[in-house]
C-alpha cells in the first residue's frame, strides 16, 4: 500500500504498516493545522494551505491511476463538510479532495479502480478540536476518541478489500458520530 | 414540457428592497453575473459591474442605467489581490459603502481526463478565479460588510458539481467544493459580526452553456428532460432573484447555505 501525505496522520498510517487485499494508494490530505482569521491570511498562507496541498493531491491521484491500483482512498478531516471558523483555508482543501474523489470515481470506475473517502475527526490531523468548535447540537454518539490503530486501519482495510468492489465515490465518516449529514 | 420562466422584462420591474445599498458583482459582463447585476439594480442597489474587460462590463452597466438604475463598470481581474482591492476602494469612493459582494467570475472549465490533467492548463485558471478570488473578494469586502449593521452579504456562485463531482471536468468539482467549504467556515467565523455568507449553485443559460448546446445539440433536451421544471434557468429572473433574496433583509437568518437553483435537477443536499 502506498501512502501519500506528509502530516502526522500519514506518518501514523505508515507506522501501522497496514496490510490490504487490493493494490491501494491512500492519499492523506495535507491540511494546515494553524487557525488563522480569514481576513489576515496572506497569499503565502493561502498558497501553503490551498494551492500546494491540492497540487500534491492531484498528482498523487494521478500516480495511483498510473500505477494501476484497484483502490484509491483519500483521508480528510471533517472540517470540509462542517466548515470551521479561522480554518477556512484548511476546510477548502479538505472538501476539495473529498469531492475530487467523486470525480475520480466517475472517471476511473471503467478502469477498474474504486475511489472513496474516509473523513475523520480533525484532531487526528493535529487540528485543535476547540478551534473547530461544536458542529452539531447533539453530543458525539460514541464515547471516546477515534484512533488510528483501532478505527482508521480497519476502515482502510475494509475499503481496500475485494468485498468493497462495488463501493465507490463514497465518504465514510468515522468521528464517533459527530457529523451525521449523509 | 417546457414551462416559461418569468420574463426578464418582469424581473426588471423596479423595487426598493435594496435601495441605498451597493453591490459588487464579479464576472457581471455576461451570463449569470449579468443577470444578478440587473436583478439587484432593479431593486434599487447601486451595482458595480466588475468585469475583466470593459467591453463586456460597460454594456451591462449601460443597460442598468437605461432601466433607470445605478450601475458602473470597473475593470477587475479577480485573480489579482491588487485589482480586487482597487475595485472595492473605487466602489467605496463612488458610493460611500459596500453591503453586498457577489463573487461569480470564473474562468476555465476545459473538459479533461483526470489522469492526463495538466495543472497549468486544467487547474490554474479555475483555482485562481474560483478559490483564490474568494480569498481576495472576501478580504477586500469584509471591513465594509462588517460596517453594514447586519446587512453585510457575501454571496459565492458555486455549482452542483461541487457536491456530486464531475465526470467531464473533474477538477472543476474540487474548486467549487472548496468555495462551499469556505462559505460554511466564514458563516461561522463572520456570523457574530452580522455578515452572512451563502452560495448559489445555478444551472442557467449562460454563454458557456449556450455554446455547449450548440456544440452538442442533444444536450439541452437531455438537461431539460432530467429537470423537474423542464427548462434551463434564466440568469436574471431565476438566478438573479435567488441572489436578490440572499442580498436582501429577507435572508437575514440564512447563512452557510448553498441554494441549488437548477429547476430541481440536483437533489443531493
In 3D space, the residue among A51, A59, A130 whose CA is nearest the CA of residue A90 turns out to be A51
Q: What is the pLDDT of residue B2?
A: 45
Residue A120 DSSP SS3: strand
Q: Which residues of B touch A88 (CB under 8 A)?
A: 181-182, 185-186, 189
- Is residue B266 a part of any domain in this protein? no
Query: Quick check: A95 and B181 CB within 8 A?
Result: yes
ipTM confidence: 0.97
Neighbour tally for A108: CB within 10 Å: 22
CATH number for position B251: 3.40.50.720
Q: Which of residues 37-56 of B touch A (CB under 8 A)?
A: none
Rounded CA separation B94/B71 (Å):
11
Q: What cell numbers appear for B236 in the block?
A: 436574471
Q: Evaluate whether the domain defined by A2-174 bears CATH number 3.40.50.1220.
A: no
Q: What is the pLDDT along chain A (182 residues), one digit of tens a residue?
A: 999 999 999 999 999 999 999 999 999 999 999 999 999 999 999 999 999 999 999 999 999 999 999 999 999 999 999 999 999 999 999 999 999 999 999 999 999 999 999 999 999 999 999 999 988 888 889 988 889 998 999 999 999 999 999 999 999 999 999 998 86
Q: Which of residues 111-140 of A touch B (CB under 8 A)?
A: 133
Is B56 catalytic? The answer is: no
Residue A150 DSSP SS3: helix
Q: How far is B96 from chain A (nearest CA, A)?
A: 21
Q: What cell numbers appear for B3 in the block?
A: 414551462
- Is residue B9 a part of any domain in this protein? no
Q: What is the pLDDT along chain B (269 residues), one digit of tens a residue?
A: 444 444 444 445 579 999 999 999 999 999 999 999 999 999 999 999 999 999 999 999 999 999 999 999 999 999 999 999 999 999 999 999 999 999 999 999 899 999 999 999 999 999 999 999 999 999 999 999 999 999 999 999 999 999 999 999 999 999 999 999 999 999 999 999 999 999 999 999 988 888 888 988 898 999 999 999 999 999 999 999 999 999 999 999 999 999 999 999 998 88
Query: Quick check: B165 and A102 CB within 8 A?
Result: yes
Rounded CA separation B200/B254 (Å):
13
Substitution target from B114, B160, B201, B269 for chain A, most A beta carbons within 10 A: B114
A35 touches chain B (CB under 8 A): no
What is the SS3 assignment for chain B?
A: CCCCCCCHHHHCCCCCCCCCCEEEEECCCCHHHHHHHHHHHHCCCEEEEEECCHHHHHHHHHHHHHCCCEEEEEECCCCCHHHHHHHHHHHHHHHCCCCEEEECCCCCCCCCCHHHCCHHHHHHHHHHHHHHHHHHHHHHHHHHHHCCCCCCEEEEECCCHHHHCCCCCCCHHHHHHHHHHHHHHHHHHHHHHCCEEEEEEECECCHHHHHHHHHCCCHHHHHHHCCCCCCCECHHHHHHHHHHHHHCHHHCCCCCCEEEECCCCCCCC
Using CA coordinates, name the residue in chain A closest to B112: A107
- What is the enclosing helix (H) or strand (E) of A103? helix A88-108
A86 touches chain B (CB under 8 A): yes
- Is residue B43 a part of any domain in this protein? yes
Using CA coordinates, name the residue in chain A closest to B192: A85
Q: What is the pLDDT of residue B12?
A: 52
Catalytic residue among B154, B172, B190, B266: B172
**In this structure, what DSSP letter does residue A125 have?**
G
Distance of CA B85 to the CA centre of its chain: 18
B219: Cβ contacts below 8 Å, ≥ 6 apart = B212, B213
- What is the enclosing helix (H) or strand (E) of A138? none
Using CA coordinates, name the residue in chain A closest to B256: A83
- Is residue B8 a part of any domain in this protein? no
Q: What is the pLDDT of residue B8?
A: 46
Q: What is the pLDDT of residue B209?
A: 86
Rounded CA separation A12/A6 (Å):
10
| CB-nearest partner of B177 from A62, A95, A107 | A95
Q: What is the pLDDT of residue A182?
A: 65
Domain of B108 in residue numbering reads as 15-261
A27: Cβ contacts below 8 Å, ≥ 6 apart = A4, A5, A57, A60, A61, A64, A72, A73, A74, A75, A97
Query: Quick check: A46 and B186 CB within 8 A?
Result: no
Rounded CA separation B197/B185 (Å):
9
B146 touches chain A (CB under 8 A): no
Tally of domains within chain B = 1
| CB-nearest partner of A38 from B138, B165, B176 | B138
B171 touches chain A (CB under 8 A): yes
Amino acid at each position: 500500500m502506498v501512502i501519500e501525505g506528509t502530516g502526522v496522520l500519514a506518518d501514523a498510517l505508515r507506522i501501522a504498516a497496514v496490510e490490504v487485499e487490493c493494490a491501494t494508494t491512500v492519499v492523506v490530505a495535507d491540511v494546515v493545522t494553524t487557525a488563522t482569521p480569514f481576513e489576515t491570511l496572506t497569499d503565502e498562507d493561502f498558497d501553503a494551505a490551498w494551492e500546494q496541498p491540492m497540487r500534491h493531491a492531484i498528482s498523487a491521484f494521478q500516480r495511483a491511476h498510473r500505477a494501476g491500483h484497484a483502490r484509491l482512498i483519500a483521508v480528510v478531516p471533517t472540517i470540509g463538510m462542517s466548515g470551521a471558523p479561522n480554518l477556512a483555508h484548511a476546510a477548502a482543501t479538505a472538501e476539495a479532495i473529498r469531492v475530487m474523489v467523486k470525480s475520480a470515481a466517475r472517471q476511473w470506475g471503467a478502469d477498474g479502480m474504486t475511489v472513496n473517502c474516509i473523513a475523520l475527526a480533525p484532531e487526528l490531523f493535529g487540528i485543535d478540536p476547540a478551534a473547530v468548535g461544536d458542529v452539531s447540537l447533539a453530543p458525539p454518539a460514541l464515547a471516546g476518541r477515534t484512533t488510528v490503530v483501532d478505527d482508521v486501519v480497519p476502515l482502510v482495510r475494509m475499503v481496500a478489500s475485494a468485498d468493497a468492489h462495488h463501493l465507490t465515490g463514497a465518504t465514510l465518516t468515522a468521528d464517533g458520530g459527530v457529523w451525521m449529514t449523509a | 414540457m417546457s414551462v416559461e420562466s418569468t420574463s426578464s422584462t418582469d424581473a426588471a420591474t423596479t423595487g426598493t428592497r435594496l435601495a441605498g445599498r451597493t453591490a459588487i458583482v464579479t464576472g457581471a459582463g455576461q451570463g449569470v453575473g449579468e443577470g444578478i447585476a440587473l436583478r439587484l439594480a432593479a431593486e434599487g442597489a447601486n451595482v458595480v459591474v466588475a468585469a475583466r474587460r470593459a467591453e463586456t462590463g460597460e454594456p451591462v452597466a449601460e443597460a442598468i442605467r437605461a432601466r433607470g438604475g445605478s450601475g458602473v463598470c470597473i475593470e477587475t481581474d479577480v485573480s489579482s489581490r491588487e485589482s480586487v482591492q482597487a475595485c472595492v476602494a473605487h466602489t467605496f469612493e463612488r458610493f460611500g459603502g459596500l453591503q453586498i459582494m457577489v463573487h461569480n467570475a470564473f474562468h476555465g472549465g476545459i473538459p479533461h481526463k483526470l489522469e492526463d490533467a495538466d495543472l497549468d492548463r486544467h487547474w490554474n485558471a479555475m483555482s485562481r478565479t474560483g478559490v483564490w478570488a474568494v480569498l481576495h473578494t472576501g478580504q477586500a469586502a469584509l471591513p465594509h460588510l462588517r460596517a453594514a449593521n447586519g446587512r453585510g452579504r457575501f454571496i459565492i456562485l458555486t455549482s452542483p458539481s461541487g457536491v456530486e463531482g464531475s465526470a467531464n471536468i473533474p477538477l472543476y468539482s474540487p474548486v467549487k467544493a472548496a468555495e462551499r467549504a469556505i462559505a460554511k467556515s466564514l458563516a461561522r467565523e463572520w456570523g457574530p459580526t452580522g455578515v452572512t455568507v451563502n452560495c448559489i449553485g445555478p444551472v442557467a443559460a449562460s454563454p458557456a452553456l449556450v455554446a455547449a448546446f450548440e456544440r452538442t445539440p442533444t444536450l439541452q433536451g437531455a438537461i431539460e428532460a432530467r429537470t423537474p421544471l423542464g427548462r434551463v434557468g434564466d440568469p436574471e429572473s431565476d438566478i438573479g432573484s435567488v441572489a436578490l433574496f440572499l442580498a436582501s433583509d429577507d435572508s437575514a437568518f440564512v447563512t452557510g447555505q448553498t441554494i441549488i437553483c437548477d429547476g430541481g435537477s440536483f437533489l443531493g443536499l
